[in-house]
Copies of this chain bind each other. A is one copy, B any other.
């Protein structure tokens, strides 16, 4: 743990999201509190189940902080599940070992959709808010805390299918066959996401991120209608509210590189970028409108330290001497990665970006 405590508004992570000059490029890693860490696996075993881990604030806090004790990471991210909102809506989140999350009561009719309400975060999702408050306190301003939610489209996919899918054909068929009903569902989810993120900010989250994990599976016209439109509604709502206006907001539509300009136009502060586009090309397309967060191929962490350093430098060089870069992987870290390699990456990003000089970045 090498980073000194600084007043978090001046932390390089938040400065980079605001596209202000930084002393070195900040880095955090999607799924940094995860199975590649033995201490995570130990806490997970102690919790008894993934759900107990995610729903017990003390345990969620413990695993959130674990990677920051090992690596000089520039942000913590709330440990939670992406399906907290559908669970709070009564769909019955549960996990089957070796498979992904499942919902006991997937949406099967218009009536199922029409009866959905917007959860109240402080009552229906109290365990999340308690976790945010606890983590923020335990961080002692060492690094900013990121709150997050799944996107409306991504949550709708799970709510309709009841589980992950390679095609989400049931959700897509509903969107094509009854777009009004699909928008009704997406509107309800978007309101819930906005309220959930605002509550996380009120509880102490200093940046917010929306994971549109399945947006990239949509054809372009459907992406604009069923994903982008509802992401934009969330941005508009959070940016209109004085309580959340200044909290940096990151959108990440994985696999949706064809839509970076449109995502930047929503008024968010930053975009997550996966590794299938050169980050310099992404930056050229969005210009100075947003910061970018990314985009090393997660598989690079399976290679040698020399290769990790070379590829990290290639991403930094690709972004160039501009403000507004938060280094990250292009997707979550996988369980097979040796934690030693994460240290190599974090230190390389800091070292290369620092030695390239402050002036070029200010």
Contacts and interface: CB of A to CB of B under 8 A. Distances in A.
Contacts of A218: 276, 297
A219 B301 CA distance: 14
A221 interface: yes
A297 B299 CA distance: 28
A176 B311 contact: yes
Contacts of A298: 167, 169
A256 B258 CA distance: 11
A180 to B, nearest CB: 14
Interface stretch (A8-16, A23-31, A192-200, A302-310): A302-310
Given A219-B276, A277-B220, A334 B302 contact: no
Given A167-B298, A169-B299, A307 B220 contact: no
A222 B256 CA distance: 19
A170 interface: yes
A177 B304 contact: yes
A216 B276 contact: yes
A278 B221 contact: yes
Contact of A276 (B166, B167, B255): B255
A37 interface: no
B219 A167 contact: no
A276 B172 contact: no
A299 B167 contact: yes
Contacts of A216: 276
Contacts of A176: 300, 303-304, 307, 310-311
A167 B334 contact: yes
Given A176-B304, A219-B276, A255-B255, 19 more contacts: A167-B298, A167-B299, A167-B302, A169-B299, A169-B302, A170-B302, A172-B299, A172-B302, A173-B303, A173-B304, A176-B300, A176-B310, A216-B276, A219-B275, A219-B278, A219-B297, A220-B276, A220-B278, A258-B276
